[in-house]
Each structure stands twice: as C-alpha cells, then as structure tokens.
Structure 1
Amino acid sequence: MDLSDSSPCFVSLLLLFLCLVHARSSANGETCHESDLEALEGFSSCLKTPIDGWGGGGGSQTSDCCSWTGVTCDNSTSGSRRVVALDLGGRNLGGEICDAVTALESLRFLNLSLNSLSTRAPWKLFQMHNLEVLDLGYNFIGGHLPCPINLPSIRSLNISFNNFFGPIAMSLTTLCSNSFNLRALNLAKNYFYGDIRADFGKCTSLEQLSLRQNLLSGDLPGSLFQLLNLGELQLQMNSFSGELSEEINLGYNDFTSELPSSFKSLQSLRGLSLSGTSLTNLSSALQTLQHCKNLESLFLSMSFRDEEILVNASFQFYSLKGFAASNSRLKGSLPSWLSCSCQNLQVLDLSGNRLSGRIPDWISEFPSLYYLDLSNNSFTGEVPERLTELRGLRDLPSVSTPFFVMRQRAKSLRMKALREIVPPTLDLSNNWLRGPIWPAFGNLTELKVLRLKNNKFSGYIPESLSGLRNLDTLDLSCNSLSGRVPESFDRLGFMLSFNVSHNKLYGKIPEEGLFPIYPYSSFEGNNGLCGLYLEPCGLTSTLQELFQGMKNLRLPFEVSAVSGFLITTGICFLFGWMFKKAVQMRTVAGRRTHIRQE
C-alpha cells in the first residue's frame, strides 16, 4: 500500500459517498451557497492555469459551482448547497493556494496533489475543523508548518514531495494532540529537521506513517513503536542515530547494537527494511521478528555483516513473501528453515554473500517463487535439475505485497506490488557452478531475466531456451560452453540484452531478429565464432567447426584418429585437385592469347 495514497479505503468510500450526494442534489436543482461560490472564484483567481469546466468571474458560464469540475456539494434541500469536496489532483495547476479556499466552511475533502502549486500554504488551511482528507503531495509548496495544527476531523494528511522546512517536533505534537482520528500521515521528501518527541505516541489511531527523506535526527522515541495500529512505517534516508534499546530501525541510518525483543509486539507490521544499518546478531533479530505474524516483506541487505546465517533453526515466517539479505558477506549455506516456514515466498535475494555448498533440491518446492537471486556467492556443484520446475516461473502468482523500491518518477522509496518492480528472474551468476544448462529451463516460460555468467557450465546452449518468449536478458558469458549459438534464438523478440562472450562457441552468429543490435562484446572471447562483427565465415571456420563437432562426439581414439586421417587426406586431395585445375586453366588461357596474337 502506497503511503502517498493515504487511507485508500476511507478516501475511496468518502469520494463515492460525496459523488452520490452530488448526483442526488443536482437532480433536485439546488445551487451552491453564495459564500462558497465567492470562495471558489477567489481560489481560481490565484491560479495561473484556468480550470476547465469552471465558471465564475466575468466570463461565468454558470453560477452553480456545484456543477463545476472537481466540485462536490452536499444534498441539502432546504436552501443553498455547501461544497464538501474539491478534487483537482493532477490537473497541472500553477500559482498558489490563497486564503479564499479556507472559506469553504463545510469542506471535508481537498485534493490538490500532482500539480505545480508553489509559495506557502495558508495558515488557515491547517485550522479547518471539518476537513477529513488533505492532499497537497507532489507540488512546490514551501514554508513552515503552522503551530499549532488544529485539524480535529483529519484522517489523512499528505504533504509529501514539497519544500516544507523547519523543526518538526512541535507541529507533530499539536497534530497528534488535536487529531484523534488521524490514520495516515505522509511528510516524506521535504526539509524537516530536528527530533521526534515522545508526544508523537498520542497519534494512537495512526496506521501509516512516512517521514522518509528529510533531515530528521536524534533518537527515536519508544512511544513510536507502541502504536499498535501502525502497519506501515517509513523512516529511511534521515540522520537518526543512537543505540537501539527499546526502539526499531528502518534503513540507512546509523543505529548500532541489536534489534530489541520488544519489536515482537508490532503484530500489524507487514513490511520492514533494516537495510544499510550497523545492526548485529542476525539470529537474535530473526528470533524476534518471527513473532510479527503478519510480516510479508523483510529486507536486511547490507546489515549484519560477516555473520553466519543459521541453517537448521526453527524460525517461523509463515506470511513472508519477500526476503532479502544481500551484500552482507553472510557465511554458511542456504538455510533449510526457509523451506519449512516460508512456503509463501515469492522473492528471495541472498546475493553478494559468502554462502557455499550445493544449491539444494528443496529450492524448487516454493509454489510461488518467481525471483531467485543467489549471485555472487560460492555455491558449487551442478544446478539441481528440479530448479527447472519452479512453478512461479511457469505461472506467475498474483501478488500484493509491500515492497521497498526506488521509484523513478520521484526517486524515492515507495511501497508497490512485487511484480511491478522485480521481473521474474533467475540469477546464479558469479559462483562455482558446473555441469550442463538443463534443457528444461526452456519450460520457465514467464522468465524475463536469466543470468548464469562467470561459472563453469559446459556443454551446448540448449535450443529449448528459444521458447522463453518473455526473456529480455540472457547472460551466459564466462563459462565453458561449446557448440553453436542456436539459430532459433532469433525468435526471441524481447531479448534486448544478450551475452555469450568468453566461452568455447563456434560457427556462424545468427543474423536475424535482434542479433544485429548486440555489441561486439556480446560475442568476444569465442575463437570459433564468425560473422556479424567478427571475422567472415570461410573454409577455416567451417573446418574448425567440423573438428570441434567431432571432438564433442567423444569417439574412441582409434575412430577419431582414422576419421581425422581420412578427412585430412580428403582435404589435401581437394586442395591438390583445385590447384591442378587452376594451372590447367591458366595454360589454356595462355595458349589462346598466343594464338590471337599470331
């Protein structure tokens, strides 16, 4: 659930209710209240961009503001109707929010997000007693938050991705003291600084909180983690510091020590990132976190460095769908408790560690796993053939799990569905794996990224991989693969990234499909390949391919020797015959020339 869309159920129901009210009242023919008409006309005059469907002023098409775009009025039948909702999000409005809008005394819903509004927000905007939803996100509004904030009816407040600045402590304290119904608060990506006071614990109804990407510092108050209704908490990219005693940490701060056992009381928590911290004692942290029964996403990347991951522990993460502990230099092997208690797992990222041993067969038993990254470890042996049976890479599961990612539009951490941000992937690159690439990998038809580079794989490239019609990345470089690049690969119309460099491949590179756009570096380091950017295919390359093919047949020495002798003799005879024929033709041509001259 995305915090920028705070309290989606409540907001949707409120909008539906207000729209029904608007439709009923329009049918009854009442017009809007005179003071509300003046307020909307005053608000419109502060904008640089006219709003389609709005009247008012000298060029008014209608004086009934209840029929204007984005305006919803109540269902009063005893007189003029009052404006209760103003929804102008995403209309590319410029200018400023002037005081006129605060004269809408009955306003309950105000959405001005995703516009280009600037300067300061009116002080009175944060004193409107009937306002339940206020969304100013994604604008250029600046200035301090007023103190006190007096919004007694507010349930959802979003001022994220703006230019607000100043100390946050007093504003939050008064907001919580005066707004007992506040469920969603999003102040992300502004310039607030200072610490969070213990009084913040008065926001007892809070379900979603984002303070990420500000300049906040100091210790986190323990009261913050006693909010029993809090299901989503984002504090990333600030400067919080200190030791964790009875507190929690969320990514990229400077906390040290261990995760406190009191964290197990957050029964509503669904998504948690502890990435990029200096936390220690991974086993203790997992022991604590398993009590968060609703935890679906857990990210520990770049934390708990150089520790050993317990293999045979009895952790219970029955709701877990996304687990990442990458780039932490963890030691050990793949923990078997994953197979016992994480049957709902859809994303598993253990890349960039020091894990060793064989990849176990049970890795194929996750019914919904569609993203597996074990790259940059020290796994050995053959890849279990059962890995080609991953059901999540044959039929993608439906997912709706919190997931922390970089969002391109705002370059900020957001919560999104798993499948929107991590494509179906199998990445085993940079290990010590050997043996063949199983032809049954071609059955993983939903696969988009397959990386097996920098291992010791041998044998042919399976023709069956051409059946991966959704594949957009295939990297088999730096192995010991032999044979030809399958001609059928030219049917992979979405494969924008392809690399088979530094193998033992031979023969002509396919010239159809997307092959002409692949760079030289995709094929270099294969002495037997020819065509495209490499040397033209000729007799030498044909002979090399022939000898290589015989070599791969692994015939007995006597048969190979006899075959080699016969082929060599035949080639010598062919060259001799061609040379003799050329001499004869030159002799005949010379005689004809001599006769003509006579």
Structure 2
Amino acid sequence: MGGVCSWKREYYYADENPNRRGVSGRYFKSRSSKWMWMMASAFFPPVVDCQSPRGGRSTCPSLMELCIHKIREDVSKFGSFSVLPRDVSQLIFNDLVYSRYLSAYSIEAFRDCALQDMLLKEYPGIKDSWIDVVSSQGSSLLSLDISSSEVTDYSLFLLKNCSSLQALTFDYCDLITEKGFKQISGFQKLTCLGFKNSTALTAEGMQCLSSLVNLVKLDLERCPRIHGGLVHIEGLTRLESLTIRCCKCIVDSDMKSLAGLVNLKQLQTPCVNITDSGVFYLKGLRKLVLLNMEGCHITAACLDYLSDLPSLQYLNLCRSSLKDAGCEKFSTLGNLEVLNIGYNDITDECLTHLQGLTKLESLNLDSCRIGDDGLANLAGLVNLKNLELSDNKIESDGIQHLSGLTNLEDLNLSFTLVTEDGLRNLSGLRSLKSLNLDIRQITDSGLAALTGLTGLTHLDLFGAQITDSGTKYLQYFKNLHSLDICGGGLTDDGVKNLKHLSSLTVLNLSQNLDLTDKTLEHLSGLTGLVSLNVSNSRITNDGLQHLRPLKSLRSLSLESCSVTAEELKKLQLSALPNLVKFRPEL
C-alpha cells in the first residue's frame, strides 16, 4: 500500500504563493494588512462530522475513522501497532499527533512500525527518548519534522538508522550544537533540509552540507553565524529553493557563492545586508522564478541586473530603498507576474514605468505615496488579479481608473481616503472575491453600492461605520467565507441579518459594545464557523449555551466580556471538541 495514507511530503516542497490570501487569526486589527510571501501551511486532517441530515449536514465518518477515533480514546491499552499494515499505523499516528493524544508513553506503541512520515512540528514534550522510537522506523522513514523540540545532538546520532530520509526539519531546536550538525552529512538522500533560528550553526559547521548533493530545498532562516559559510553549498547544483531570510550576517560577498546554483528557482533573502553589488552575482540564475529581497539595502539600480533573469515572475522589493529615480528600468522586467514594492519612497511618477508590465497579476503598493494620478497608470494592467493599495493618499476620484480591471479578485483599499462615491466604480468588478474596506468614512450606503459583487468570499469592514441598517445589504453576499465588522455600530438586531450567511467560516464582530447573549443565539445556526471573535461586548457566561451547535469551531475570542475561562473550558470539554484556541485562557 506504500504511503497512500501518509501525510504528504509535498508539504516540504510547497512553493511560495504570493497571491494566496490566508484567513487571519488576529484578535486586534493591525495598522495595515501586510502582503506576504507565504509557504503552504502544514496538513490538517478534516474534522469528522457525524451530524444527521436532519441537522442540515449529511457527512458521516468512515469505518476507518470510527476505528481510529476509538483507538485514540483507548490508546493507553495498546502495547504495539507494529502488526498492523503500515498505512493504518500511519493514520493512527497522524490522528494522535493532530489531536494532541500522543505522549511519551503512547509513542512506544509505534516502535518498529515502519512509518514513512513523522511530522511533529511544535509538538509538546519531545525529547531524545522519543527519537529512539523514531529511529526504529529505519529505512522506511522518509520525512521527519521535530521543530521546536528539546532534542539534543544525541537525537541526530540516533537517526543514522534512517538512511532513506528525504526531508528533515528541526527549526528552533536550541539544544543542538555544531557537533550534532556533523551527523547530517550522512543523510545522502536528503532533498529538503531546514534548521531555522540555529545559533549554533557556523560558517565552518556548514561543511556538513557540502556532501548533500541531492538537496532541492534548504532553509537557513535566522541563522546569525553563517557569514562565509555559503561557499559550502556551491556544489549543490540541484538546489531549487534557498532561504536565508533575516540572516543579517549575510553580505554582498556571500552572494558570490550562489552564482553557480544554475537550477535555483526560489531565493528568499529578505532583511539581510545585501546591496546592489550583491544582486550582481544573481545575473546567471536564468531559472530564477521568485526573488524576495524585502528590506534589503538595494535601489532601483539593481533592476539592470534583474532584467537578465528571463524566468523571473515574482519580485519582492518591499521596504528597500527604492525611489522614483531609476524606476524606469521596471519596464525591462516584462515577464513579471507579481511585484511587491510597498513601503518605499515612491510616488505617482514611478507608476508610469509599470505600464508595460502587462503580464502583471499581483501588485503591492502598500504604504507608498501614491495618489489618484498614479492610479491612472494601472488602467492598462488588465491581467491584475491582486492589488494592494492600503495606506495611500487615494481618494474616490482615483478609483475610476480601476473600473476596467475586470480580472481583479483581491483588492485592498484599507486606510485610504475613499468614500461611498468611489465605491460605485467597483460595481463592475464581478470577479472580486476579497475586498478590504477598513476605512472609517465608509458607511451603510457604501455597502449598498457593492451589492452587485455577489462573488465576494472575503469582506473586511473592520473600521467602517456599519450599523444595523447596513447589514441588510449583506444578504447579497451569499458566498462570504469571512467577514469583519468592528466599527462599533452593531446591536443584536443587526446581527440577526447575518444568520443566513451559511458559508461563513470566519466572523469578527469585536468592538461592538452593545452586543449581548442574543447575538450568540442569532449565530447558533452558522454551523460552518471555524473562528468567531465577539470580544469587547456584553456577552456573558449564560450566552455560551448558544455556541454548542458550532461543532466546527476551532477559535473563539470573548475577551473583555463577562465570560470566564473556566466556563469556556467547560464548553470545550462538553460540546466543542475541536476548539483549540480560546480567550480568555486559563
């Protein structure tokens, strides 16, 4: 059966997708939404739902799921799973990890089970004694993640039995020293390796990497002592992805060691001390697709070197030293699909040089000095799908220049000067799925102007002045998955208009001081909710009973309410088994 049921090792190979918009887990609104280059998140098994069709859900667990659930409850009764087929043992192991039932005692039952994947990232309590069981998987083990654990050099010595390891991650393992790193050189089949935040790894210690000729992905984020060590990876010509994010010891001379990595497709170097001179060494990386240099000390002069990269599609120069002067060279980057130049000292003049980037699909201009005149230069970028304009001097007159961008799916206008008059220009953008209108001057009439955008799945009205009257317009957005309304104007009557938004998974109604227990009653039918925030309201312990039907709820915030942590814990134990994050906490 192989690894059919195992956690996918593609988790380690996941490409950054700068277009993907994640679901925010925030409790407080940040000043501006940040356009990030994100790695794919770790695999989470689906929630088993046994509700009957009468309750509106017909999903029923399989026989295997029921068996695994029973094993989880009685795991202390089992001495060994080694007689089971490997895929079954793998499913049991995955479930125990996900549900946090795996312990120093229960892991012993997996000795000699020939598991292929043991992804224990940030799992509590992992020490060297656990790794003895991991090592017993022998040559069957293909991927291991023991990040944020208390393992020592001895664990890496134990792992020498796992000669077939392809992916190994031990980020934030503070007890591993340079002596332990030497053991890594024996894992000749490794294709993915990561040890973020390793203060013990030095330039000399990086010699252990020189023999790993099969490496495809290497993550050295926040390793502060590796200056001069990149010379040891010069021979790793199969390398496709390299991250040296926030390694402030890296300087221009280190970049010379990357010049021969001709198969490199992704290079992450944000917040390091690289200048235009360091970018010069990248000229030969003709397969480079993604380059992230956020916060580096580079200027528009480096665009001359980047124009020699024919495959470049994703470029992040956010928080660098860009000014209008030199930005005319953007026109030479004709293959760009994603451009992030937010938080730079550029103005409308710079945007004239983006007119030729007709392939552009994602553009971030967050916190620049862009005004209405600058937006006129974007009118021809008809392939744009994602546009970030947060925290600029844009007013309603400028929004008319966006009316022809009919492929737009994600638009952020937070902290701009746009009013209801400007929003009318968005009515024809029927492809919009995500819209951020965290703008104080937006009121109920602004929502009325958007009722034609029926495809919206994410709507952020965090600071907008929406009242009960305005919530009636939400009935047009039947596909909403996430909604933020936190301007303080809602009462229980307004929340009543949300109860028909059956697709909602994330709802933030915090800061609405007049909401009471009646609000939770109105929301009790939204059984798809995964995250709910009703902080800073008048909700009490008595209202918690209305949350019992929300079996999918994983995150619940009721801070600054008359709700106690003890009652929330009782609710979790008695009715909400999937609730893993709640505030107030014990």
Q: Structure 1 length normalisation: TM-score?
A: 0.53
| CA 1:461–1:359: 2 relative to 1, 3 Å | farther
Which letter maps to 1:453?
Answer: G
Which letter maps to 1:340?
Answer: G
Which letter maps to 1:113?
Answer: G
| CA 1:521–1:102: 2 relative to 1, 3 Å | closer
Question: How far off is 1:154 after superposition?
Answer: 3.3
Which letter maps to 2:288?
Answer: L
| CA 1:465–1:195: 2 relative to 1, 3 Å | same
Q: Distance in 2 between matches of 1:511 and 1:127?
A: 58
**Does structure 2 conserve the Cα–Cα contact (< 8 Å) formed by 1:383 and 1:434?**
no
Q: Distance in 2 between matches of 1:254 and 1:358?
A: 35
Match of 1:199 in 2: 281
**Does structure 1 conserve the Cα–Cα contact (< 8 Å) formed by 2:252 and 2:273?**
no
| CA 1:288–1:311: 2 relative to 1, 3 Å | closer
Match of 1:233 among 315, 335, 340: 315
| CA 1:458–1:437: 2 relative to 1, 3 Å | farther
Which letter maps to 1:251?
Answer: C
Please give the per-residue CA displacement for 1:23-50, whole angstroms capped at 9, x wherever unaligned.
xxxxxxxxxxxxxxxxxxxxxxxx9785
Which letter maps to 2:216?
Answer: V
Question: How far off is 1:155 after superposition?
Answer: 3.0
Match of 1:496 in 2: 533
Which letter maps to 1:467?
Answer: H
Please give the per-residue CA displacement for 1:394-443, whole angstroms capped at 9, x wherever unaligned.
xx4xxxxxxxxxxxxxxxxxxxxxxxxxxx22417446x89942624134
More displaced stretch, 446-455 vs 291-300: 446-455
SS at match of 2:267: strand
Match of 2:253 among 150, 170, 174: 170
Match of 1:536 in 2: none
**Does structure 1 conserve the Cα–Cα contact (< 8 Å) formed by 2:439 and 2:461?**
no
Match of 1:453 among 481, 487, 494: 487
Match of 1:76 in 2: none
Please give the per-residue CA displacement for 1:315-361, whole angstroms capped at 9, x wherever unaligned.
122222221211123234352232212x2222211121223452544
Match of 2:146 in 1: none
Please give the per-residue CA displacement for 1:544-575, whole angstroms capped at 9, x wherever unaligned.
xxxxxxxxxxxxxxxxxxxxxxxxxxxxxxxx
Q: Distance in 2 between matches of 1:520 and 1:444?
A: 30
| Mapped pair 1:181 → 2:263 | yes
| CA 1:500–1:88: 2 relative to 1, 3 Å | closer
Question: How far off is 1:8 after superposition?
Answer: 8.9
Please give the per-residue CA displacement for 1:268-327, whole angstroms capped at 9, x wherever unaligned.
32222222111122xx4444324323322211121115x334677771222222212111
Match of 1:244 in 2: none
Question: How far off is 1:116 after superposition?
Answer: 8.1
SS at match of 1:372: strand
Match of 1:135 in 2: 218
Count residues in correspondence: 399
SS at match of 1:278: coil
Question: How far off is 1:156 after superposition?
Answer: 2.2
| CA 1:274–1:4: 2 relative to 1, 3 Å | farther
| CA 1:151–1:209: 2 relative to 1, 3 Å | farther
**Does structure 2 conserve the Cα–Cα contact (< 8 Å) formed by 1:6 and 1:158?**
no
Which letter maps to 2:330?
Answer: F
Match of 1:144 in 2: 227
Q: Distance in 2 between matches of 1:146 and 1:512?
A: 58
Please give the per-residue CA displacement for 1:106-151, whole angstroms capped at 9, x wherever unaligned.
x474433257864336454465494452524458583333474531
Q: Distance in 2 between matches of 1:315 and 1:206?
A: 29
| CA 1:485–1:276: 2 relative to 1, 3 Å | same
| CA 1:218–1:125: 2 relative to 1, 3 Å | farther
**Does structure 1 conserve the Cα–Cα contact (< 8 Å) formed by 2:491 and 2:512?**
no
| CA 1:95–1:465: 2 relative to 1, 3 Å | same
| CA 1:336–1:145: 2 relative to 1, 3 Å | same
Match of 1:154 in 2: 238
Match of 2:380 in 1: 316
1:379-394 → structure 2 map (5 Å cutoff) = 382-383=445-446, 385=448, 387-393=450-456
Match of 2:369 among 304, 312, 320: 304
1:494-533 → structure 2 map (5 Å cutoff) = 494=529, 495-497=532-534, 513=546
Question: How far off is 1:152 after superposition?
Answer: 6.1
Question: How far off is 1:363 after superposition?
Answer: 2.5
SS at match of 2:450: helix
Match of 2:339 in 1: 272
| CA 1:338–1:114: 2 relative to 1, 3 Å | same
Match of 2:416 among 353, 369, 373: 353
Which letter maps to 1:204?
Answer: R
Q: Distance in 1 between matches of 2:293 and 2:334?
A: 21
Question: How far off is 1:267 after superposition?
Answer: 2.8
**Does structure 2 conserve the Cα–Cα contact (< 8 Å) formed by 1:276 and 1:302?**
yes
| CA 1:377–1:3: 2 relative to 1, 3 Å | farther
**Does structure 2 conserve the Cα–Cα contact (< 8 Å) formed by 1:6 and 1:156?**
no
Q: Percent identity?
A: 15
| Mapped pair 1:292 → 2:292 | no
Match of 2:193 in 1: 112
| CA 1:159–1:449: 2 relative to 1, 3 Å | closer
Match of 2:90 in 1: none
Q: Which has the higher strand share?
A: 1
Match of 2:472 in 1: 439
Unpaired runs of 5+ in structure 1? 10-46, 56-60, 72-82, 235-249, 397-423, 502-508, 523-598
| CA 1:294–1:466: 2 relative to 1, 3 Å | same
SS at match of 1:488: helix
Q: Distance in 2 between matches of 1:354 and 1:373?
A: 13
| CA 1:344–1:452: 2 relative to 1, 3 Å | farther
Which letter maps to 1:465?
Answer: L
SS at match of 1:204: coil
| Mapped pair 1:224 → 2:306 | yes
Match of 2:94 in 1: none
Q: Distance in 1 between matches of 2:561 and 2:314?
A: 45
| Mapped pair 1:69 → 2:141 | yes
| CA 1:374–1:440: 2 relative to 1, 3 Å | closer
**Does structure 2 conserve the Cα–Cα contact (< 8 Å) formed by 1:152 and 1:180?**
no
Question: How far off is 1:476 after superposition?
Answer: 8.9
Match of 2:32 in 1: none
| CA 1:129–1:314: 2 relative to 1, 3 Å | closer
**Does structure 2 conserve the Cα–Cα contact (< 8 Å) formed by 1:252 and 1:275?**
yes
| CA 1:209–1:151: 2 relative to 1, 3 Å | farther
**Does structure 1 conserve the Cα–Cα contact (< 8 Å) formed by 2:351 and 2:374?**
no
SS at match of 2:305: helix
RMSD: 5.0
| CA 1:452–1:199: 2 relative to 1, 3 Å | closer
| Mapped pair 1:263 → 2:330 | yes
| CA 1:133–1:510: 2 relative to 1, 3 Å | closer
| CA 1:186–1:371: 2 relative to 1, 3 Å | closer
Q: Name the larger-Rg structure.
A: 1
Question: How far off is 1:372 after superposition?
Answer: 1.9
**Does structure 2 conserve the Cα–Cα contact (< 8 Å) formed by 1:86 and 1:109?**
yes
Q: Distance in 1 between matches of 2:133 and 2:464?
A: 57
Q: Distance in 2 between matches of 1:338 and 1:321?
A: 12
Which letter maps to 1:202?
Answer: G
Q: Distance in 1 between matches of 2:468 and 2:183?
A: 73
Q: Distance in 1 between matches of 2:536 and 2:452?
A: 25
Question: How far off is 1:521 after superposition?
Answer: 8.1
Question: How far off is 1:252 after superposition?
Answer: 1.8
SS at match of 2:263: coil
